[in-house]
Chains A and B, each alone.
Chain A
Amino acid sequence: MADDFEPEIIVFACHYCAYAAADLAGSMRLQYPSTIRMIKLPCTGKLEVIHLLRALEAGADGVYAAGCLEGECHYLKGNLWARKRVEHVKRLLPEVGLEPERVEMYNMSSAQGPEFARVATEFTERIKALGPNPLRRHGVSPHAAAREAARDVALPDEAPAGAAAPAPAAEAPAQAPTEKGPAA
């Protein structure tokens, strides 16, 4: 079954590091799965518990946050806060019947294109092994839901060079990049 299962994975990526690392991975022509859908944050410190939950509730098979290396957050501790929130969600998930492994926190620098590709591959493998999110429903877009949940904090998408950038916009308008910056 895992063979024809193409997971949808939402990545909340910090614009200073992971998002740039994705760009780099793209320009380096590194291979990584097309399963990941990015949402750009000014800092993973902006990530809230509800953003992760909304993505999963809408059927995302996995969600992870990718922030700067510990000690190198542009805002000092944003990535540490993100880790705490991810851990909190890990504690909530078993209560509602989902595996805590469906959420994760990763750290990388903007120069680590290969690390970005490695993480995307590793996490995709993990989710493939877990199988689809049982909450997945036809016609509901996890990426759109996650974007909508994070609308006040997310930055507009700009396709990272080359790679698995946002797939064709088959879904809700929230997914469409806007010209303007975040509401803040």
Chain B
Amino acid sequence: MITAERKPFDEILELVDGHNKILVAGCDTCVAICLTGGEKEAEILASELRMKAQADGREVEVEHTAAIRQCEWEYLDMIAAKVDEADVVLSMACGIGIQSMAEKFAPKLVVPAVNTNMLGMPQEHAVWLERCGACGECVIGETAGICPVVRCSKSLMNGPCGGSHDGKCEVTTPEKEDIDCAWHLIWERLKAQGREELMHKIRPPKDWSKSSSGGPRKMVKEEAKPV
């Protein structure tokens, strides 16, 4: 799933500064599951914004709503009336949802209330771990199902580097939580699979043109396009 974290409150205030009718728009899919931008969190942010405005003696109307999925235009019709009334929409969806709103309701001002940070997996309740960088050419068939692109701090194709220690990545610091060395994990799991010869092979440089380095990507499924 896509995960996001709420922006610092001060930054949010700056983004909506000077506007008197604010709509906080949550999204009830990924960002709701990661407890950042669902309807509940939208309601909390709206309440905070109202309190702040009152405390500062400003007349500001703040409403909240949520779309089932902000990233799909079909779902945006349901909140269109509320968007219409607002001067600014503070979207709590991931970057995709925010842009989908900005495009659908252009030139309405739509600003982000969250920082979209990763494609993550919930490890336990309220903890997410980065798992994929959407590199466009998945290599984990040869790396024991462990992504070296985002789980290795240096995106090595031929790890582990000399900083790997006791199964931990060199980027681990006492302040940061332990970061597992992806290549140590790969080595151990390949051994468990009896496929460690895969570690002996020199895996060639990655074709980053399939990733965002190749420019914005577009996916078309001809077979499914409406006739």
Contact = CB atoms under 8 A, between A and B. Distances in A.
Nearest to A59: B54
Contacts of B54: 57, 134-135, 137
Q: Which residue, of B40, B47, B50, has the highest number of chain A Cβ atoms within 10 A?
A: B47
A48 B48 CA distance: 14
A53 B44 CA distance: 7
7 interchain residue pairs of minimum CB distance: A97-B55, A95-B9, A96-B52, A96-B51, A53-B47, A135-B54, A96-B48
B36 to A, nearest CB: 13
- State the main secondary structure of chain A at its contact with B: helix
A56 interface: yes
How big is chain A's contact interface, by range? 10 to 19
B14 interface: no
Interface in B1-19: 9-10
A135 B51 contact: yes
A2 interface: no
A37 interface: no
Name which of B44, B51, B52, B56 has the most chain A CB atoms within 10 A of its CB: B51
Interface residues of B, number: 14
Contacts of A53: 44, 47-48, 51
Contacts of B47: 50, 53-54, 57
A57 B49 CA distance: 10
A134 B55 contact: yes
Interface in B45-102: 47-52, 54-56
Nearest to B52: A96
Interface string A92-109: 100111100000000000
Contacts of A98: 51, 55
A56 B54 CA distance: 11
A55 to B, nearest CB: 10
Contacts of B48: 53, 92, 95-96
Secondary structure dominating the interface of B: helix
B7 to A, nearest CB: 12
A49 B35 CA distance: 12
B43 interface: yes
A96 B8 CA distance: 12
Contacts of B44: 49-50, 53, 92
B51 A57 contact: yes
A35 B162 CA distance: 65
Contacts of A95: 9-10, 48, 52
A97 B53 CA distance: 10
A97 B52 CA distance: 6
Given A95-B48, A96-B48, A50 B55 contact: no
9 contacts: A48-B40, A50-B40, A50-B44, A57-B51, A57-B54, A95-B48, A96-B48, A96-B49, A98-B55
